[in-house]
Structure formats: structure tokens, C-alpha cells
Structure 1
């Protein structure tokens, strides 16, 4: 199989990588670029653990090929914090104890950020709908929903 050179932007940084035609974006992020925040859960797009944004759209990175990312803008969990400063969602997840083992947390955070980027005033129903593609086996979803709602309220006040 022939290797493919890809030029993209990841978390605001111009990035180039070489991948095989059949490599998923998840594999490229984790194995070639060392961005291990996105987790492999189901490899079928059902759990949301590998969530990233591609050109502003929430996407399961296990369902797209790394070779397809030429010219795309990709956002990962590694890009949420600004240096040592956590994103407000990350702070609220900690405050609300909205995480347990951490496998699903990056996907929930990316999905929540995507929601708030597009809808800064979501209802609880909209939050639950936006997070429906993310599965967690360790904690109840209420703490996660409360953390997102609290973040939205705080960001509106700021």
C-alpha cells in the first residue's frame, strides 16, 4: 500500500503527516502524532470516546480516514486547554465530579464544547441530545449534564 502525505491543521497548528490509505484518523492521531486524548472504544462510532471536531463538526475519528484530512481543521481534547489554563468545561467537569475512569471524558468534553460553540444557551434537553452519542459505563450522566449546563451559564455571564 502506498503512503499518503497529508497537510492539515490540528488544534490551530499546521501539521503534516504521512499515513496509509486505510488508517483511521484515530490511529493517525494516537500512533503517528502522539495525541492520545481521543480513545478507542468501539471502533464503530457508537461510543463517542474518539470524538474530535473536523472543520467545526463533531466527528468520531474512528469512522474517517486520516488520508481524508488534507486541508481540514481538526480539534482534539489536547487543544481545549490554553497552556496551563483549563477550558471552562474542563473546570466544571472537575467541580461536578463528572468523570470517573476517564476513557469517555475527552469525547464528552469535545461533544460539549461543540454544542456550546454552536449553541451557547442550550436547554437540558438539548444538552442530553448533544451528548447522546457518548457512552459512559462508570458514572451517571446527570453530573455531566449539570457540568455542561453550569458551564453554559458561566460563559454567558462572562
Structure 2
């Protein structure tokens, strides 16, 4: 399965890097391909290293203004013109999406992917990986949107909230008919 992961390129502490590395190892050992933003720094590097070291493939989609920080040893690297094209290419190359910890860029990617799914532009499973409660507030906001009628489809049909990498991968494999 080609799994797109949206996450931070920032250098983060162990409470985020350790679970990210564990999830990456699960992906690689499972024979999955990581589709990611292509960066060779921060948490993106941690995940790409983990997938590659565990036997998985790497498909990066960088963007022209960040091409200098793109990973050199990916199995495939695409350079998009801009961030909008990058998001479209990432989704196009993926069978499923996992949203990991990140900043405003990750949040932008997550909301666009969910908006596209809400409107039927894709049916790929989306998992929000809530490492160490990072997305507790967002999870609560989504639940409120659902409860108060702001979502035209049930929240459970848009996104699955996973508390760890094992739970995230199980959800994806169930959605793909492997679990």
C-alpha cells in the first residue's frame, strides 16, 4: 500500500520522534511505500529513515522552493511547482493518508484532504495519528463540528483517530481489506 504521511520537517524531541520511528518501522516491515513531502530533515527524515531501514520504499514529493532539502536516496522524487500541486500529487500517489504531528503546513494539508473527502473527491482512508495527545483539541473540535451539524457526512466516515502507530496501520489495512 502507498501511504501518504503528512508531518513536520522540524526537529522534535523524543516524545514525537520515537513513536514516529516505530510507526515508520511498521510501514517498512509491512512492505508499504511511504509517500511524503520529500524532506531529508526533522521528523520527515526520521520517518523516511525508519521506512527505508525496515525495507519499505520512499516516494517523495517536494516543492521547487524546498528542492535543496529533498532526500537524495528516495526511490522516486518528484518536484512540484508549488504547494497546491504538491498536495495534489501526494494524494494522487497514495492509497491512504496518515496525518502525524506538525505545524500549520500539516494542518493545511489535513484540512484540505478531509475537505476533498467530504465532497467525494476521494475515498481514501484518512487516519489522524494523535501521538501523545497532540491532536486532542482538534479531535474535540471535529467532534463538535459533527455533533452540531457542520459536517454533511459522519465524522467516522471522514477520519479515524489513532492513538498509536499500530492502531493507525490496523485501520489502514482493514480499510484496504488486508486486516
- TM > 0.5: no
Q: Indicate the structure with greater helix content.
A: 2
State the TM-score, normalized to the length of structure 1.
0.28
TM-score of the superposition, structure 2-length normalised?
0.26
